[in-house]
Chains A and B, each alone.
Chain A
Amino acid sequence: MSALHTKPAIAAAVLASLLFSSSGAAQQVNAYAAKAKVEPPAEKAPRVQIARGPELESADENSATIRWTSNNPGGSDEHFGVVHYGTSPNELNQTAKSHIRLNQNHPDTTFRVSVERLAPRTTYYYTVDSMQASGASDKVKSAVGKFTTPGPGERVMNFPQPK
């Protein structure tokens, strides 16, 4: 089907499109098939800002979930929330990241990151960022936050299911 730019070919194409549209109703399902494809990435937000958080969603003796909401960063739908953390505010030398999928139709995005293998009854300091699938940072600025893990068998839940 290499394109032949001759008048008869164009005329045939017009004729074909007319024929196709006249049988469009019968071809409803196949029309969907022809278009089935993966969405392209959204336009990247010029500046990604945090609107709420970051804050502790929940914690038990050896894990925590950090949560924040930013404007929709755009870019690849496959996205990662990133938490840099440590036991000293000056040494945030560990990193946790969790996958989320952006909703291109939403004005904002909630990130939630699991931080694992923590010690009980220990205070951790952290900052957050987010990144595209490629690893490119969204360059989010967050203040240094902190949380303390509870003791064995205890659990902190700051975002319970609403009634």
Chain B
Amino acid sequence: MILQGKRVALPSAPVVHKRFEAHAEATPDAVAVVCAGRRTTYAELNARANRFAHHLIARGHGRGAKVGVCLDYSTDMVVAILGTLKAGAAYVPFDPSYPAARLRLLLGQVPGLALIVASPATAGLVASAAVEVVDIEGLSDHLATLPATAPDVRITGDDVCYAVFTSGSTGTPKTAAVRHEGWFNLLNWLTLEYGLHAGSHNLVVSAFGFDLSQRSLMAPLFCGATQYLMASRNFDAAMAYRMLDQHDIRVVHCASSTLYLLVDWETARGGDALTRLDYMLFGGEPLHAERLTDWARRAGNTCTLLHQYGVAECTDVATSFDLAGYRPGVHDIAPVGTPAYNTDIHVLDDRMRQVAPGEYGEICISGPSVGAGYLNGAGPESDRFTTVVADGEPLRLYRTGDRGHVNEAGDLVIAGRMDAQVKVRGMRIDPADVERALGRLAGVRQAAVVVDRTDAGDAELIAFLVPEDGDLDDNDVRARLLEALPRNMVPTRFRNVPRIPLSPHGKVDRAALAEELRQAGIS
């Protein structure tokens, strides 16, 4: 089974920031960024980004370099991102809401990292870096002396534009690299397919480390609109709702769990800021459409809900579905729809043959969105990037590890994972990554992590611990783990066990552990 996205030609150099530059040329006085009450125009932002690009190039960090960005949402962050792209380099988000120990681990996963852009508020988090940490605020006097014009750098669609971290099956995070061509194709598809324009102002509500945040950051600048940023390191529902209420924001990209929060907030408060939006684009975890039904049916609701599917390795979004077409009685699971432009979805069996329509298989993606692979190359995950022969031509394909099928209406439906990975509040997590962090804690001899569902149907992680001596205390283990892992990766429940059951192959027997949970009646 194959779903083919509409073929839409891309420019010869599909380079994302060129679109921003064209807007800066055409509408220099339009507002590009609003943050903490400060407005920055397209012309101003473009000049600042050009200066930052000149700085990077002068330091030898031009085309092909990898630039770490560890900043809170701010105009400076947008300057650093655009400046990095203009220099021909790729940026790598280091999320300042992560603990320093996790950032230290991630720093080791970017070979050839050139430098890290930070601020006085974030520099301490990346102090362990082996490379230079630049304070972008302290640099402003120097930057002012550099040319405000764009540097002359030749960049192609095949150059890497950003790389984000995903959880790895061997316990080490992977650094998925995305190419300009894929990112351009994604933003061009959203703009044309959904009619985004210079009035499609955006509010960023997701954490910087997510791939969806890269899209949310760039989408308004790609279509000439205004980007609204919250001066908050952590998602703040009250602040987000107030900004939606007070500004002419039209588009929000978020994880499904954030969408529920915003919808609950509006329902409890009785406002209409969300129903007045043009679009909310969301996905990243199994959808509980029933949590949205009452709100979606409110009179005068003009907001189109786009339920999307994708993976970081293939530029974030692969398919999209207008949730207005969801029929709870007919659809078991809310579909994720049809492919982005120039993107093909293949549903294949374990021998890489196409399954029949309606049958389940592994979801594979081909097209310009297939990324450049992992920067920290080796490891079993790299085998998921493969080349097959289609119509006598080699075709680059990414095997997502997601299971699904195409329904009668021709929409893709995701059924789950083929491995132990899980999404928690939009973050893709491999239990091995959590097990490794647990195994490093004093007093833990061995650990295994399994996925369970809460009463509300959300995924949660349960840790089984074999203690060195006496039983380990939940709160103590959780507190220590919070020093090492992002919060979404910290298990909700812990259980002391005398041993971890192994499968005949010597691997952790997750099925046996899940069964033990059921029998203990704690799930």
Q: Do A and B form a real pair?
A: no
